[in-house]
Every structure is written in structure tokens, then in C-alpha cells.
Structure 1
Amino acid sequence: MEAWILNLTVGELLIDFSLMGALLLAGTLLRRYVPFFQRYLIPNSLIAGFLGLLLGAELFNVLPFDAARMGAYVYHLLALTFICVGLFKTEKKHSWGVINLGFMQVVIMLLQGILGLSLALAVTWFLVPDFNPATGILLPLGFSMGPGIAYSIGQSWAAFGYENAGSIGLTFAAIGFLVAYFFGMTLVNRHVGREKAKALPRHVRQGIRSEGDHPIGSRLSFSSAAIEPMAVHVALVGAIYWVTWWITGGLAQLLTLGGLEAEIPVLWSFHFIIANAVSLGTRKLVLKDGRGAWIDDGTVHRLTGTFAEYLIAASIMGISLHIALRFALPIVAICVIGAYATYRVVKWAAWTVFSDYQFERFIGLFAQMTGTISSGLALLRVTDPEYRSPVAQELVLSSGVALCLGFPLLLVINMPFTVFDGKLMGFGIVLGLMFAYLLVLSGVWFLYVRRNRAQKK
């Protein structure tokens, strides 16, 4: 709820987004002219975010922005992104690859959670008594789920005494991005050869298309004489977010009436799920009787991409360096061990479950489980420049499967605070619950794989 009641003037809002816009332009120029960024396919928004962090108040103090405001923007941009995702057209029936990648994503999230929490408990018990064990839970949130979810859930823990969890969640996400692109591109270069990686189309490496190579990004579903089509889509997203706020506020009042006020911060941290559900319902409603043709997928994709670019930039700029540096050693250790475990498990699963496109599925999923879906698609493009394999579509669609299968994990990770008041025993119980769900999910996945392989014979 903090992100909704943050004191903010209109001037600060405009200046902040103007600064982020200027940094995105600077990131675009750096990607265009600096070979280092081209070599590792570093996204412009990531360059912009680190540039803002460098020029912000905690280092060179050149740019006048506040990290707390950046965190609030991450919170809201996450919901706007999920609203757009809910407006996409979806496949009614998922393929073998989509289901398996969905299972793999949640299994990896659980493994990251188990590993991160185990390491954090060890640090608390044996090395740093004031180190909060919940920091380990931020590993799957920052790596697998991305900066938006890491901040949204982390900042809700402030109500339970963990004041800086949102900022530390952004730190995990930032380290995850570095792993995805630098280590991921190293793996790609080793697989396809550095020369082939260099042979990518210029617009992929430099990020700017030449004149005459401008593909169609969206289509006009309204007459501009009446209203700008983009304005209608922005209005739709805004209306859905207003309904999300209204529903979440109503649920918060019900929790208050039921004497469950302690659960309200957790409820507000899940606003992006409510936003996605409202968005899905809205699309089904407007599509009824064929009336929803005015929702243009291309325009929705452009909006999603825009929100995501600002979200990534703000997530890096929202990192509090003095907080991150205080526990730098355990955080880096958890990230390094978590990244290596993710690498080993994804590699084993890709070659065990699939008989084709193994490296493509491996590198796409590895980058996604340390960065975002965009990271996976960027690295996949090096080995599959035209996306001729089914892997790109599988990565996108499997995220929906993972969201459904991973929802119990989102509920469990808050239990140390909501059920056990932050006691160490509660973290141990949650560790056991995650392990139990991992066993159950792995068993269901094994049966699914065996049944489908038997049907194919």
C-alpha cells in the first residue's frame, strides 16, 4: 500500500519520467555505438538503469531522483504490464513444450527458494545474526519473477519489520540481469562460436533499424478522425487499473472487518495478479459475440514493451546502494550459488526432457530464470535469428502455465511474516513446505512426461 500513498507532486512525477526518458535515449545511443553492449546484447533499459544508478544521489549525485519514488513506479508499472499481458490473445491448447517449460520454471523457482532460504538461514545462524533470513526468499523473486514482483512483495514486508526488502529485491534482480546477459552470452558464444554471434543482423546488435526496414508494429482499429487508437488502448489499461484498485481496496476492507489487518500489505503486494485477472475477464467480455476486434494485439504489445522498459530502468535506479553494500557478501554468495544451481538444473532438464532444440530451450529458459522473458528471447535470437523454432512462442506461453503452478509459492513465501511473526522456526517450516511442493510438483511433472511419451510411441 505504501506505493499508493507515497507523497509525490506532479512536478516530481514529470521530472522523474523525463529523467528516465533521457536515460533511455542515452542507453539507446550507447547500445548503438559501444561494441561492449552490442557483444552482450545488453538492453537499452538496463544500460539506462545502471547509468541512472551511477549518476544518482548515492554516487555522483548528478540526477535529482529519489530511490523510494523509483520503487513506487516499479510497483505500478508491474501491474500495468500484467494488465497488458492479460489483453493478449492466447492459445486455447498448450503444446508439449509449453507445458514442460512451465513445469521447469516453477521447479527452478522452488529450487532457488529452497537454496536461497537455506543459505540465508545458515548466514543468520553462524555468521551474521542480524541478517534477515527472508533475504534468501528474494532470490527466486528477483531472479525468476523479475524486479517488479521482487519489489512488490518485498516492500510489503516492511509492515512486518523488514524495512528494506523491496530495495534488496531489486538488487537481486539487477544481479540476475547481469548473470543472464554476461554469463548467458558467454554460453551462447561457446555454443555457436563468437564469429556467428558477431554475424547477427546489425539492427539486433545495435538496436536501431535502417531506413526501409521498419516492420508493422500495430494496426489502427479506430478512425483517427474520431479518436486516436492508442488513446483508446491506454484508456482501457487505465480503466482496468482503476477497477483493480477498487477491488483490492474492497478486499482490504473485508480483511479489516475480519480482524485480519496484518494480511493487508500482502494483499496489496499481489495487486498485479488481481490486475491480470481483471484484464483477462475484460478481454473475454469484449470478445463476446465477436465485438472485441478493436483490441489490437500490436498496440497492446507496444504498450507492454513501453511499460517494461521503464520498469527495468526504474528497478535499477531504485536500488539503495548503502543497504545493498551492508550485506553485499551474503547477497553475492546467494546469487552466485543460486545462478550456478539454476544453470546446472536447467541444462540437465533441457537435455533430459526434450529431444530437439535442447540448447535453444536451455539458453532461453536460463536467461528467463535469471532475468526476464525478454532476456530469454534476446539470447535465443543469437542461435535462432528468425525464431524459426517453436522455442520463442513456448517461452512466452509457458509463463502463463508457470503463473498458475507457481501461485502456491507466492502464498507460502509470505508465511514467515503473516503466520509466524518472523520467527526462525517459521522460516524452517516454510522451507519444508517449499520442499514438499517441489516433490509433489516433480511427481506430477514426471507422470505428465511419462504419459505423453507413451502416447507418442
Structure 2
Amino acid sequence: MSPNAIGFALLLLGVMMLVAKIIRVKWRLAQKLFIPSSIIGGALALLVGPDVFGRIAGLFGTDRFAESGLLTPEIIEVWKTLPGLLISLVFAGLLMGHKLPSPRKAFRVAGPQIAFGMTVASGQYVFGLLLAILVLGPVFGLPAMAGTLIEIGFEGGHGTAAGMAGTFEEFGFPEGQDLALGLATVGVLSGIVCGIALINWGVRTGKTTELRVDAEPSVVERAGLVEKERRRSAGTLTVNPSSIEPLTLHFGLLAVAVLIGWLMLEGIQWVESKLWADSFELFAHVPLFPIAMIGGIIVQGLIQAFDREEIVDVQMIERLQGFSLDVLVIAALGTLSLTAIAANMGPFILLAVTGLVWTAGAFIFLARRMLPDFWFERGIADVGQAMGVTSTGLILLRVVDPDLKTPAYQAFGYKQLIMEPFFGGGLVTAGAIPIIANFGVGWLLAGMFALFVGALAAGLLYFGRRPVAAEEPVTAAP
């Protein structure tokens, strides 16, 4: 493959992003549903690819577009590679630039949130695995690892689903990635649609604290724009550009975090190959991105210890993450195999419905009993994140608590610090399929069920009954 082909494939992604944003600004339905531009761009890429345009052209007797649609095989190949690379950058920066809290403070502020979030995440495994054992396997002939797809697609999102491609391939379930990407798309869209519906229900029934019936996002906000008087810098110039471009500096920090994660993973895999690889292999199948997050934690620890001049800007890290995630989503959806989903439409619908019913049901019936204060604002962020991605949760939180006056934002942030290394693309997500392959589905189901019961009991019997304590003042996020 020539360098020009790689460069053109990347430039085409930029064009897709721009066209998608124009559609987002002009299309009223997309505004009402708060559909991210990256999802629209991914849908456009999918439409011009082999599974849509190529098949339509085939109906008219033209086979020249069957392999890659309006694209080229080289573009498809580059796009298929990008998600696995970019997800490591996204995960490496999840905690970078955020001051790591003390365990005591994190537990006090986010303890209820962690219990609820862990209940939702482990429940996605429990119900997904039970569905795989009782229905998907006996009726549709799918392997037991199909039960992990709800957590991978919903809690993990497109990045995690794309990053797990190698793991699915290694264990003989390549269609798992396409099903996970499809579930991630369902999750993101459902997270917004269900989230807005739940918010409307909460406002009408008086369950929200800050949002009232007369509150409505402006036209500019619905279009995905920022009003002129509320615009802020995308990042702070903490270093002089004449010495190094600030964006370059922060990219270098992410690169170091990914390299640390890669060295750690290589080291763990080497130890595994020398000690117990003959019996079973676990880390040999773990992708890089969850370990890259640990690399990011190490880099953040060094930043807190030695960055006296405070040159690391969290907004700059977030811009790099956001760019990587946008490119990742468009590339992943653009290479999604609709054939694999169509061939497994029954299991796909069952997995999607099970994930949606459990996640929304957990919010409606459990959140108020597990979260001692501001349960609606705290819970709605988790619903959005557990169905889609972190940004979906934050979108819903900003809708229901526009000025961030409740402690929900702080609690959600601390909860993410604790949960991200394990669920939604962390070590548990990465290790679930190797555990099933090496030890059997019963071990994973037993472990997730024990975690589910423990988290549920902690929320209902301890945090839910704990009297509301006076919290530290909450500062609204910029």
C-alpha cells in the first residue's frame, strides 16, 4: 500500500467529518436526538461502502463496486486498521490531566455512584451471559462469548468494540466485532433517545432538581454549536509555541503513556509465556488499550509529582481524545459488516433489547434506592454512559443539570476514575473472552454474578440508607 493511499484515506475521513457536521447543523431530527456528528459521518461512510452502495449497484448488474463501493480496497484497509490504533490514544488520556483523588475522598463522593455503575455494568454481563447460555447457544448456535457483547457494545462503545477485533478473530468469532459495533450504534442512539425521554418524564413528575418544565435547549445548542458569548478556548497555551507546539507536547504525553502500556503488556505476556502459557493464556489475548490506560495513570502520577509549572492542560488532552474518537467512530462504522449483522439478526435484536431493558430498568427502579441524593442527575449520567459512551452521559447530565449545580458531575468523574480501568474497555472487558475460552463461561458468569450481588447490596443496604452528608462545594466544570 502506498503512502499516498494512506494519506488519501485519512483526508477522506476529514471530508466525512465536515459533511457530517453540516448535516448535523441542518437536520432537525438529528438536533432533537442530539446525534453525534461522528455517528452521522460513520453512516455516510457505510452508505458509500460495499455493504450498501456496492450491493445496490449489484442489483443493477454492476459488480465493479462489490468489493469496496465508491471507496477503494486500500481505503477500506486503512480504515479497518485505524480503530485499533486510535483507541489506545483515547484510553491513555482518560485520566491524564485530572488530579488523582485520594481513595477516601473518591469513596465519600462517588461511593454510591460506583455501586450503581458497577451494578449496571456487571448486570450487562449477567443478563448477556444468561441469554447466551439459554437462548443464543441452543437456538442460534452462537458461542457463549456472545454474552459479552452487551457490555462491550453498550458500556464500551465503538472504540472498545473496534479494539476487540483481534480478540474476536483469535477465538473464532470474527462476526462478534460487527455485532458489537452494531450494538454500540444502537446503544449511542438509544442512550440519547431513552435519556431524553427519561429526562422529560423526570421533569414532568418533579424528580429533577435543577431542570424545570420551561427549560429547553436553545436552537444553537441543538445544532451542536456554542453561543458566541459562551465560547471558550479549546486549550491553554501552557508552553511557548516557538519552543514546541502545545498540541505536539500533549500528543507526546499520550504517546509515552501508550508506549509504557505496550512495554507493560509485552512484559506480562513474556512472563505468561514462561510460567503458565502451557496451561492457559490470558494476557496473550488482551488488547493494548486497557493497558495503555494504566500507562496514562503512571504518566499522570509523574505529572502530579514533577509538573510544578502546570504545563499539562486537560482541555488539550481532551481535544486529542475527541479527535481520535471521532476518526475512530467514522472508520469503524464505515467498515461495519451489515452482512454479519443480517446473518445474526435474531441474536442481535435479543442482545439489544436485553441491554436496553436492563440499563433503563436499573435507572428507573434502582437509582433512587441506591443513590442517596440527586439520584436523577447522578443516575442519568450513568444511563447515558452505560448505553453509549462517557460523552453521552455528560450530554444528558448537562441537559438535566445545565449549570452543574448538583454534585452529580463530580461524583460521575470520580466514578469513572475507578470504573474505567476495569469495565467499558478496561481489564474486565479485555479479559472476559479469554476467561471464557480458557476456563468456561461458568467462571465468568459466577464472578460477574457475585460482583452484581455485592454492588447491588452495597447500594441498597449501605449507600441508599446513608444520611445525606454536607458535601464540599461543587465547582461547575468549564
Corresponding residue of 1:413: 432
| TM-aligned CA deviation for residue 12 of structure 1 | 3.8
**CA deviation map 1:4-37 (0-9, x unaligned):** xxxx653343223222211111111111111111
Residues 144, 368 of structure 1: 8 Å contact kept:
yes
- For residues 128-139 of structure 1, the aligned pairs below 5 Å read 128-129=140-141, 131-139=142-150
- For residues 9-408 of structure 1, the aligned pairs below 5 Å read 9-60=2-53, 61-64=69-72, 69-90=78-99, 91-92=101-102, 93-94=105-106, 96-129=108-141, 131-192=142-203, 199-211=216-228, 213-258=230-275, 260=277, 266-267=283-284, 269-291=286-308, 293-403=310-420, 406=423
Residues 181, 375 of structure 1: 8 Å contact kept:
yes
Secondary structure of 2:324's counterpart equals: helix
Residues 150, 351 of structure 2: 8 Å contact kept:
yes
Q: Which has the higher helix share?
A: 1
Normalising by structure 2, what TM-score? Answer: 0.83
Q: Find the aligned partners of 1:181 and 1:289 in 2 and give their Cα distance.
A: 40
In structure 2, the gaps of 5 or more residues are: 54-68, 205-210, 471-478
Calculate percent identity across the aligned residue pairs: 22
Secondary structure of 2:420's counterpart equals: helix
**CA deviation map 1:182-216 (0-9, x unaligned):** 22223333444799688313332111235554312
Corresponding residue of 1:427: 441
Residues 200, 385 of structure 1: 8 Å contact kept:
no
| TM-aligned CA deviation for residue 43 of structure 1 | 0.9
Aligned-pair Cα RMSD in Å: 2.9
Structure-2 change in CA distance of 1:443 and 1:49 (3 Å) = same
Q: Find the aligned partners of 2:167 and 2:76 in 1 and give their Cα distance.
A: 16
Residues 281, 434 of structure 2: 8 Å contact kept:
no
Q: Find the aligned partners of 2:281 and 2:446 in 1 and give their Cα distance.
A: 25
Residues 55, 63 of structure 1: 8 Å contact kept:
yes
Q: Find the aligned partners of 1:155 and 1:196 in 2 and give their Cα distance.
A: 48
Q: Find the aligned partners of 1:455 and 1:261 in 2 and give their Cα distance.
A: 53
Corresponding residue of 1:5: none
Q: Find the aligned partners of 2:402 and 2:346 in 1 and give their Cα distance.
A: 38
Q: Find the aligned partners of 2:45 and 2:407 in 1 and give their Cα distance.
A: 37
| TM-aligned CA deviation for residue 357 of structure 1 | 2.6
Normalising by structure 1, what TM-score? Answer: 0.87
Residues 139, 172 of structure 1: 8 Å contact kept:
yes
Q: Find the aligned partners of 2:254 and 2:82 in 1 and give their Cα distance.
A: 16
Q: Find the aligned partners of 2:333 and 2:319 in 1 and give their Cα distance.
A: 22
Structure-2 change in CA distance of 1:411 and 1:36 (3 Å) = closer
Residues 398, 404 of structure 2: 8 Å contact kept:
yes
| TM-aligned CA deviation for residue 345 of structure 1 | 1.1
**CA deviation map 1:370-412 (0-9, x unaligned):** 0011111112222222222222332232112223565674376
Residues 103, 405 of structure 1: 8 Å contact kept:
no
In structure 1, the gaps of 5 or more residues are: 1-7, 421-425
| TM-aligned CA deviation for residue 244 of structure 1 | 2.6
Question: Which range is displaced more, 326-335 or 269-278?
Answer: 269-278
Question: Alignment length, in residue pairs?
Answer: 443
Secondary structure of 2:174's counterpart equals: coil
**CA deviation map 1:149-203 (0-9, x unaligned):** 2333353132222223222221221111121122222333344479968831333
What is the letter of the counterpart of residue 286 of structure 1?
A: I
| TM-aligned CA deviation for residue 321 of structure 1 | 0.8
Q: Find the aligned partners of 2:351 and 2:357 in 1 and give their Cα distance.
A: 10
What is the letter of the counterpart of residue 96 of structure 2?
A: L
| TM-aligned CA deviation for residue 352 of structure 1 | 1.1
Residues 191, 388 of structure 2: 8 Å contact kept:
yes
| TM-aligned CA deviation for residue 124 of structure 1 | 4.0
| TM-aligned CA deviation for residue 333 of structure 1 | 1.5
Residues 71, 315 of structure 1: 8 Å contact kept:
yes
Residues 369, 464 of structure 2: 8 Å contact kept:
no
Secondary structure of 1:88's counterpart equals: coil
| TM-aligned CA deviation for residue 343 of structure 1 | 0.8
Q: Find the aligned partners of 1:275 and 1:125 in 2 and give their Cα distance.
A: 34
| TM-aligned CA deviation for residue 70 of structure 1 | 3.4
Q: Find the aligned partners of 1:412 and 1:45 in 2 and give their Cα distance.
A: 28
Question: Which range is displaced more, 426-435 or 64-73?
Answer: 64-73
Residues 74, 151 of structure 1: 8 Å contact kept:
yes
Residues 233, 295 of structure 1: 8 Å contact kept:
yes
Structure-2 change in CA distance of 1:156 and 1:263 (3 Å) = farther
